[in-house]
Chains A and B, each alone.
Chain A
Amino acid sequence: MTQPAPSAQHQGPGKGHPSAPAAPPSKQGSGSRALGLRVDVRNLSLLGVLAVLVAVGGITEPDAFLDTGNLQLILTQASVIGVVTVGVTFVIISGGIDLSVGAMVALASVWATTLATQEYGFAGILFTAVVVGLAAGLVNGLLIAYGGMVPFIATLAMLASARGLALQITDGKTQIVTVRSVLDLGLPDSYVLGIPPLVLVFAAVTVAGWLILNRTTFGRRTVAVGGNAEAARLAGIDVRRQRLYLYLLSGLCCGIAAFMLIILSGSGQNTNGNLYELDAIAAAIIGGTLLSGGRGTIIGSVLGVLVFTTITNIFALNNLQSDVQQIAKGAIIVAAVLVQRRTLRGGET
């Protein structure tokens, strides 16, 4: 996987916007340079967690854990939720929240797999998944940016109605995909140099997300809005439009993820994307994104997703049952965040 060196990360709003002196100094620390260093420490500690997990997996199940097949498996399982998490990370950095991601994935995946859509083949399914995701994101964005609704409430409403609509479309039935070109993308024959296409999409979305956040005005505006929306407005940023675009972006990611899920599972079901909102938010948080906005990295979020997927994988390979898995997962979230805090404070003093 292509992971740009973490040292290239910096995102003080002050850096790109010398004209925005009102950006909150309290939250942003003493400057982009110090902040960049801090972000490094966060990602490093998460890489440490990942290394420990790999060691645990390698020791407990050396045969099953340490082979190419398992690496492909972990990355594939991470890819769908990973793409969703990239979109959610943007929203959270801007100080918002998107609780509707799982429901949007469900809606897009069932809409794109109805018998009528499948008539149009590969293109029809891809188009429908992406446009339904965008449309749901647009509704979220309009309600929040121009309707003045709190993101928590607006996306909660979207969660409920998108799930309802998905149920209405499927009537509770599992929609099996019969379009061969879509199904084939999930099979080993389609792997490029041993890399599954889904993982390539995940990598592409990650790189695109990283570039947008760190190398474009759009990215700097996102951080500025999350840091202090009023200051961003005074600095000339159209905060409302920025928010609209961010929820559109999250919807787009959900549409792409829905298409990936269709490829992965060969079907569309209204229960798809169950609890993705929690998984995505948790991954972003342990990846160092501040829930109150203004700070966060794409690499951190992606590492967060990989940590969760690797944990699930190790548990399954060791044949641990769901009860143990859940207890351990909770403990590991707490441990990861505590370790991060500790490292962070160590880095500061």
Chain B
Amino acid sequence: MPETSRRGLLFGTAAVSAGAFLTACTSNEPKEKTPAQDNRPAADDTAGKPVTIGFAGPQADHGWLNAINVQAKSRAEKYSEVTLETTEGSNDTAAQIGQVKTLINKKVDVLVVLPADGKALTQVGLEAMRAGIPVVNLDRVFASPQAYRCWVGGDNYGMGLNAGHYIGEQLKDKANAKVVELAGIDNLELTKQRSQGFADALKNYSNVKLVARQAADFTVESGQAKMAQLLQAQKQFDALWNHDDDQGVGALRAIEQAGRDEFIMVGGAGAKSAMDAIKAGNTVLKATVLYPPTMAASAIDLARALGQSKGVAGLAEMEIPTSVTLYSAVVSKDNIDQYLPTGFS
């Protein structure tokens, strides 16, 4: 009997101390905290009429979506007269419809909605517009233009186009240049648009040929796995475009593991890890094409302008535009310092 209890005691103590160690290990706070800075000029910083903005986004289970939430919140804090009502992020269409309805019932002045699924949230967008609440539709577009007052979002086709042009320019003096593409989730429309843009841009360069394409699924793990296979299949090539910087972490790992460096790599989306690597210049990653999460900050600006019945400063129009498509800039070593603060992790 004492034997067992001593063993029990031993295991008990071990389990408790392991537990204590693990609980201490959930923190992700960096040792020295650098305060997030927002130095971009606002269109018109002077406080106007108070505006309450309702914000509904999807669950931030991906670096880019997390950056969307951060951008929206920090932009709203910049204006003393803006109150931001945010909902718990959700990927479930029914849950998100419920959240938007709650915001409508609260009678917010303007709504900013990034739908988990654009088509599925059209109805609730219409409902808000009928209730007299203007809707700013962020990125994933509603099925009907009647469901929003203004759409602001990225340009997936343009992203591919700019990546293709950048690579084409880099390789234009090279005969029979080979290009490889590591795409994102293949059953998303945005992946098809990015690949189409990329292929169209490469058509302008007769010496450049797309020799292989594989689709990963936006995760580090899949990026590593698919890139390792691509490297095995193509013993030599000149450039690689990777659609997403998150999976790019895995792709860079696979490249390191294969010990390859004969090509240049261009990323996509604009993660901080990618921008750091571009700045350091010690990997094959030489540039990344943005899909800017700052669009959420712009959406807050537009919502504020709508709530105060103002136009966009710098344009002659009395009203804000119905559609704003953002430019996918290529960030390379030349302009990295300008974009580094927008990088997300």
Contacts and interface: CB of A to CB of B under 8 A. Distances in A.
Interface residues of A, number: 52
B235 interface: yes
B233 A64 contact: yes
B257 interface: yes
Contacts of A270: 61
Contact of B60 (A171, A264, A266): A171
A176 B221 contact: no
B74 to A, nearest CB: 15
A115 interface: yes
Interface stretch (A82-90, A244-252, A319-327): A319-327
A270 to B, nearest CB: 7
Contact of B220 (A115, A131, A187, A265): A265
A7 interface: no
Contacts of A272: 219-221
B249 A116 contact: no
Interface in A265-292: 265-267, 269-274
A261 B225 CA distance: 11
A286 B112 CA distance: 49
A274 B26 CA distance: 21
A128 B22 contact: yes
B25 A117 contact: yes
Interface string B228-251: 111011010000000000100110
B214 A319 contact: yes
A186 B229 contact: no
Interface in B151-175: none
B28 A171 contact: yes
A69 interface: yes
Interface stretch (A150-158, A224-232, A309-317, A329-337): A309-317
A115 B253 contact: no
A173 interface: yes
Contact of A174 (B27, B30, B235, B345): B345
A181 to B, nearest CB: 15
Given A171-B60, A266-B253, A321-B215, A176 B273 contact: yes
A316 B26 contact: no
Contacts of B246: 174, 269
B217 interface: yes
Given A77-B228, A116-B25, A316-B229, A271 B221 contact: yes
Nearest to B30: A115
Contact of B249 (A61, A174, A274): A174
B324 to A, nearest CB: 25
A242 interface: no
Interface in A174-203: 174-176, 186-188
Nearest to A166: B61
Contacts of A128: 21-22, 25
Interface in B44-67: 59-63, 65-66
Given A170-B28, A265-B224, A176 B249 contact: yes
Contacts of B315: none
Contacts of B31: 115
A269 B345 contact: no
Contact of A186 (B63, B253, B273): B253
Nearest to B217: A274
B18 interface: yes
A321 B213 contact: yes
B2 interface: no
Interface in B189-228: 212-215, 217-226, 228
A303 B88 CA distance: 44
Contacts of B219: 269, 271-272, 274
B319 interface: no
Most buried by A among B28, B30, B250, B273: B28
B22 A111 contact: yes
B92 interface: no
B228 A73 contact: yes
Given A114-B26, A172-B65, A187 B257 contact: yes
Contacts of B228: 73, 76-77
B28 A316 contact: no
A109 B22 CA distance: 13
Nearest to B271: A174
A321 B233 CA distance: 14
A230 to B, nearest CB: 28
A38 B222 CA distance: 37
Contacts of A266: 220, 249-250, 253, 256
Contacts of A313: 229, 232
B28 A116 contact: yes
B233 A169 contact: no
Interface in A12-44: none
A316 B186 contact: no
A170 B219 CA distance: 14
Interface in A203-260: none
Contacts of A348: none
Contacts of B232: 64, 69-70, 73, 313, 316-317
In the A-B complex, the 7 residue pairs with the smallest Cβ-Cβ separation, listed nearest first, are A316-B229, A172-B66, A116-B27, A322-B186, A117-B25, A271-B219, A172-B60
14 contacts: A70-B232, A111-B22, A174-B246, A176-B273, A186-B253, A186-B257, A188-B259, A265-B253, A269-B219, A271-B62, A313-B232, A316-B214, A319-B214, A322-B186
